[in-house]
Structure 1
């Protein structure tokens, strides 16, 4: 049996369904975490540093992940745990974000089993690394009836309850695969709106390059010019005046460089 430490106040769940639940990740709590850690309590007191002085129900893994953490506030320690869980289960979380259960039927038995296991672990790890805690009391004083909900994912004024929902929406409405989108999200710190804007910009550039190639080739053939010369000159005109269209740049090229030399 673990006895309370009198230097720390007790954080306890209010709702019965949250009893024996890890405050950091939502798993079954089998022990306690201390904010600040017991080994640093005296230092916090002597130096009058900010500390919650709380004994927090936690699971075995979260306590292990928090072992190197010397922070004294529960919220700091929660953020530490979430970062560590996300890093430890990065591959499984990646599987969860990249795959959907309806895609598993197309796989052979071995791959189906592997991806299914990754999906399950990834979903659990993703949930744990975003767990919001629960309504609780401290030494008999109620702290909160309802904790603030997790911030929704916002994408161009649309709100999604989870990153996975936002990913599925983007993949349905934009020409990008789920695995590729997840990779891009990692590069952009999970800023899905930034990724979509980046994709749109890339698409616009690709469309421009296609039109430049087509229109330059037609112009070159009509006026007996080098297609490379034409496209280079068009880009030079466009660099000078961004408001020009490709057609307007070709008209200028004709008037200034081609018309008088035919």
Structure 2
């Protein structure tokens, strides 16, 4: 015989904000709380109890959207539910988040009115979603007078530098490392699960080599024109010289080609 929700609720302690500024706020994203999220969800509580699974058995304030995204998820601890919620929010608002991270207000005046309106709306929605993703759950008090500390704030590492927010780390990649925005963002979010160093490695592997080759082609073209040589010959010759001596870059290979063959 199924246990009633009223009976199951008796196993949960009630979590509420310790500090007044967090009263009536969603534990997961900071929006206005309208519902109560049960950890584990009530629909799974009976089996969790029956099999003595490790679970927090606490209820927390939640906004309507976070409640809707989580209430059927069989995720049994608050830390895991925070991670799950962030993942689901990021997926739901993926397009708006990309617009928010790709564009700046200063660029809007260059667009047509229709495009400006579309981008502006996306930036606004993306900004709100980014704030919710960056929200750090607050300290909870409970019916038994114990405090439940939130998970530690996530840190983002880029080239051995630590950043406290995703936006700071991303802007460092864009502004300091001169990464092409759209290509890198898609790698970071879609393939590397927010791991900046992994995304940078993938980015350089996929997009770094063609840029180097383009520079080499331009130098070969200039060299061939300057010294009245066939560009195909210069390309083949420099490639062979660099294969023979792996320490040579394109400039050194061209210098050797000139010294050993052209200038003789």
- Whether these two folds match at TM > 0.5 is yes
Give, in whole Å, the separation in 2 of the partners of 1:143 and 1:89.
Answer: 32
Bigger Cα displacement from structure 2, 247-256 vs 110-119: 247-256
CA gap of 1:219–1:115, structure 2 versus 1, over 3 A, is: closer
| Structure 1 partner of 2:137 | 133
Structure 1 pair 119–43 and aligned structure 2 pair: CA distance change class (3 A)? same
- Contact 2:138 2:150 survives alignment (8 Å): yes
Partner of 1:39: 43
Three-state SS of the structure 1 residue aligned to 2:215 is helix
Is the CA contact (8 Å cut-off) linking 1:22 and 1:28 kept in structure 2?
yes
TM-fit CA distance, 1:12: 1.2
Aligned alpha-carbon RMSD (Å): 3.5
Instruction: Give the 3 Å change call, closer, same or farther, for CA 140–108 of structure 1 in structure 2.
Output: farther
Q: Is the 8 A contact 2:187 2:203 kept in 1?
A: no
Tell me the CA shift for residue 97 of structure 1: 0.9
Aligned residues of 1:153 and 1:166 also touching (Cα < 8 A): yes
1:166 counterpart residue number: 169
Is 1:66 the counterpart of 2:66? The answer is no
Pair 1:151 & 2:154 matched? yes
Moved more, 226-235 or 196-205: 196-205
Unmatched segments (≥5 aa) in structure 2: 1-5
Q: Which sits farther off after the overlay, 174-183 or 53-62?
A: 174-183
Residues 1:183 and 2:186 aligned together: yes
**Separation of aligned partners in 2, 1:194 and 1:147:** 27
Q: Deviations over 1:103-150 (max 9, x none)?
A: 233334433333222222111112223332101112243425x74652
Greater CA deviation, 196-205 or 90-99?
A: 196-205
Deviations 1:140-190 (A, max 9, x none): 43425x746523333334443422233334333344454444334334433
For residues 1-28 of structure 1, what are the alpha-carbon distances to aligned partners after superposition, in whole Å with 9 as ceiling and x for unaligned?
A: xx89211111111001111211112111
Compute the TM-score of the two structures, normalised by the length of structure 1.
Answer: 0.78
Provide the residue aligned with 1:9 in structure 2: 13
Deviation, 1:45, is 1.5
Aligned-pair CA distance for 1:240 = 4.4
Aligned pair partner of 1:206 in 201, 211, 233: 211
Instruction: Report the Cα offset of residue 89 of structure 1.
Output: 0.9
* 1:52 positional shift: 0.7
**Number of the residue aligned with 2:81:** 77
Q: Which residue of 1 aligns with 2:3?
A: none
Normalising by structure 2, we get a TM-score of 0.78
Q: CA deviation at 1:86?
A: 0.8
Is 1:52 matched up with 2:59?
A: no
- Consecutive unaligned residues of structure 1, counting only runs of 5 or more, are none
Structure 2 SS opposite 1:55: strand
